[in-house]
Amino acid sequence: MKIHEFQAKEILANYNVPIQRGYVVREANNIEHTINKVQSNFDSDAVVVKAQIHAGGRGKGGGVKFCSTSEKAREAANEILGMNLITHQTGEKGKLVNQILITEALDIKKEFYFALMYDRAKNSDVFIVSTEGGVDIEEVAEEKPEKIIKAWVKEGTYPLSDAVNTIINALDLSLYDDVFEIFSNIYECYSKSDCNLLEINPLVLTEDDKVIALDAKVDIDSNALFRQEAIALYHDESEEDPLELKASEYGLNYIKLDGNVGCMVNGAGLAMATMDIVKHHGGEPANFLDVGGAANVDTIKNGFKIILSDPNVKSILINIFGGIVRCDRVANGVIQAVKELNLNVGVVVRLQGTNAKLAKEILDKSDIDLISAETIDEAAKKAVGMVL
Ligand code: GDP
Ligand code: MN
């Protein structure tokens, strides 16, 4: 689950990590007094206005403005709040800015890149840092890979203290007080908050020699939200694709894509394979949809509803493996769902596994307009053939 910069900073602050301080504004009529509050509480004449959306690259897109006076801050805040912000991460549609963060301005001596994530190959957490902060880290990785330093953390094998010392030396911060504690605290925040990713770009050294998180991007492991009650409340539905949100309410794993062949599959691996075969036959999948192990009438009906809410869909490919679930049951479910929903696109059904033969008979005998197929290859070819 992605969260906003101001929320990520709140979590960091709970672990005594110094952050660039500020307040959130959601209504234009709170702009003026919030600017005053930032200026007086944090003793900073200049302020920074920052759009809060679940995407990076806001600075380049015009969503982060450094303002030297209150007047400029008012202007910037009124412009950014409510704007449609386009960055290289939002896609061309952009994102509506529903809230802004107004912060103190810092005098920056150096900008660093800092991140913590899990390295599957080494089965351990890894610090990734660079002296080339504040810019796209992807560019640094491509042009100056030697500027990216990694330090692994694994109890016993790579103690936290070794990793922290490695990054302190790499960033040339050993002269400054408290940095060991700050990096240890960030690590504690990362592990105790069940983060998939904790990225601070930039982490800055200020002119008065303080190390401060100026930006923060945190992604929380959604499977851990049951034990992260406070963080779960940070969920912002307005940042999600409405169809994906609806699907999660139905308990379906759905990701919208740009093609026109709708896919309904049980199992994530089979769903990926199905999308590959659709592409192999020259088609473009409209979505990833895993209806889960127990595909029954309701899940199939809900799956149809979600797929058909996407106006691009011109045919639907159903690919279900009957392992736990019996294929004849799925076939009856498909027939019932198609009848109830009045479909106006072609449907190809491929059922394999327990009672597959019986299922095919049921489908072939039914009076509704379905095409049945035996192999995934044949099914994909037919579904793609309908839209070409
Ligand atoms: P992003 O573009 O979405 O990553 O947003 P950031 O929060 O990282 O801000 C973008 C850039 O604005 C930073 O890399 C800084 O260079 C600049 N910036 C933000 N806050 C301040 C500040 O307080 N002082 C100065 N000098 N620059 C700032
Ligand atoms: Mn940033």
Taking only the tens place, the pLDDT of each residue in 220-277 is 999 999 999 999 999 999 998 888 889 988 989 999 999 999 999 999 999 999 999 9
Q: How far apart are CA 130 and CA 55, in angstroms?
A: 21
Q: How far apart are CA 202 and CA 112, in angstroms?
A: 5
* Residues in contact with 344: Cβ distance below 8 Å, sequence separation at least 6, in sequence order: none
What local confidence, expressed as pLDDT, does residue 71 receive? 97
CA dihedral 318, 321, 325, 330 (to 10 degrees): 30
Is 199 labeled as catalytic in the residue annotation? yes
Quick one: which atom of ligand 1 is closest to the CA of 55?
3
Write down the residue that tokens 């994102």 correspond to. Answer: 95
Task: Round the CA-based radius of gyration of the chain to a whole number and report it.
Answer: 26
On whether the CB atoms of residues 215 and 201 are closer than 8 A, the answer is yes
Assigned token pair, 331 = 């076939």
Determine which residue's CA is closest to atom 13 belonging to ligand 1.
134
* Active-site position among 111, 199, 234, 254: 199
Is residue 57 helix, strand or coil?
coil
DSSP 62: T
Check residue 180 and give left, alpha or beta (phi > 0: left; psi -120 to 50: alpha): alpha
Q: Which protein residues are within 6 Å of ligand 1, measured from CB?
A: 20, 48, 50, 56-59, 64, 66, 105-106, 108, 134, 201-202, 214-215
Counting Cα atoms < 13 Å in the Cβ hemisphere of 320 gives 35
Q: Which long-range contacts (CB under 8 A, 24 or more apart) does 226-231 make?
A: 227/194, 228/193, 228/194, 231/1, 231/3, 231/11, 231/193, 231/194
Separation in Å, CA 281 to CA 142, 273, 352, 372: 34, 13, 20, 18
Q: How far apart are CA 166 and CA 187, in angstroms?
A: 14
What local confidence, expressed as pLDDT, does residue 86 receive? 96
Determine which residue's CA is closest to atom 23 belonging to ligand 1.
105
Taking only the tens place, the pLDDT of each residue in 276-293 is 999 999 999 999 999 887
> What angle is formed at CA 147 by the lines to CA 118 and CA 111, rounded to 5 degrees?
85
Counting Cα atoms < 13 Å in the Cβ hemisphere of 301 gives 12
Beta partners for residue 126, in sequence order: 117, 152
First CA to last CA across the chain, in angstroms? 37
Is 113 labeled as catalytic in the residue annotation? yes
The ranges of the chain with pLDDT < 70 are: 294
